[in-house]
Amino acid sequence: MRLATIRTPQGTRAVRVDAGRAVETGHPDVGSLLATTGWREVAAAADGPDHDPAALDHAPVVPVPGKVFCIGLNYRNHILEMGRELPQYPTVFTKFADALIGASDDIVAPPESAAVDWEAELAVVIGGMVRRASEASAAAAIAGFAVLNDVTMRDWQYRTTEWTQGKTFEATTPLGPMLVTPDELPGGVRPALPLSCSVDGEIMQKADTSDLVFDPVALVRYLSTIVTLRPGDVIATGTPGGVGHARKPPRYLAGGSTLVTEIGGIGRLTNQVRGE
């Protein structure tokens, strides 16, 4: 199943995206749908107003998640090629909902940063409340997956040893274009999907989500030990090599740049960068 939050003249709406139509489920957004008891059955049975899937205006797939967790240093090959040891525990930081934008919205580059960078990521969306999850309950709590780009102000990120200030500038993080349930993807709750990121048509990142050190199930187990995960919460699972900051010389996004983030089987984000 594929679910999206779209903008309409009447406000945002959750839709089930089929091959030839996008059907409203009766909920204002996917987060509200996931908070509904039996959301899978509700979404599957929905037969509300139709929209053309090719003409959807995508909002962030979950516009206001209660929590957005982000994971750093989580692609095995990238860590090893840098000569580092694989981490024993996930590196965790957070992001606020104000940072989120839709699949084709502009990324707003703040005038305070001269080092706006890209980070293509697989996002996990939670579909059930879970605390101290077992392997089985962690897998069951995963509603599906989306595409995210953790656009980062590197000069702010590295002002201190805590990263959050460089990670959550307003209107910088595209999330979408839709949520795809695990049964639709090779690997299920541990999807094996090609991930890529390009800037102005040039491929910058290319990896496979099966290369994650801490896979989605492991991350749900770990994070649910700290706090209860609830429907609509988002986990950004980390980015592979190829970011601009690590290049020699470093390369960053500028006004007018087009950032394309794609994960096979899920979808594509196409966002233009503009000054605030």
Q: Residue 91 is part of a domain; what is its CATH number?
A: 3.90.850.10
- The chain-wide mean pLDDT, for the chain, equals 97
CA distance 98 to 64: 8
For residue 51, pLDDT over 80 is answered with yes
Domain match, 22 and 111 both: no
Please classify residue 225 by burial: count the beta carbons closer than 10 Å to its beta carbon, then call 0-12 exposed, 13-18 middle and 19+ buried: exposed
Contacts of 186 (CB under 8 A, 6+ apart): 192, 193, 265
Q: Which residues pair with 179 in a beta bridge?
A: 3
CA separation for the pair 86, 42 (Å, rounded)? 42
Domain count, the chain: 2
d(CA 236, CA 141): 15
236-255: average pLDDT: 95
Q: Are residues 83 and 220 in the same domain?
A: yes
Q: Do 78 and 188 sit in the same domain of this protein? A: yes
Which of 38, 57, 76 marks a domain boundary? 57
User: Percentage of residues in the chain with pLDDT exceeding 90?
Assistant: 96
Whether the per-residue pLDDT at 77 is higher than 90: the answer is no
Do both 165 and 205 map to the same domain? yes
Say if residue 122 is in the same domain as residue 226: yes
122 and 12 in a single domain? The answer is no
Residue 84 has pLDDT above 90, yes or no: no
Q: pLDDT value at position 137?
A: 98
- According to DSSP, the residues that pair with 72 across neighbouring strands are 91
Measured CA to CA, the distance from residue 231 to residue 265 in angstroms comes to 22
Q: Quick one: pLDDT at residue 81?
A: 72
Three-state secondary structure call for residue 36: coil
| Average pLDDT of the residues in 59-85 | 92
Which stretches of the chain are DSSP H helices? 30-34, 39-45, 76-81, 135-141, 154-157, 216-226
* Same domain as 185, residue 53: no
For residue range 149-169, what is the model confidence (pLDDT) as tens digits? 999 999 999 999 999 999 999
pLDDT for residue 83: 80
The predicted-structure confidence for 5-15, as pLDDT tens digits, reads as follows: 999 999 999 99
**Same domain, yes or no, for 161 and 204?**
yes
Is 238 in a helix, a strand, or coil?
Answer: coil
**Residue-level pLDDT at 32:** 98
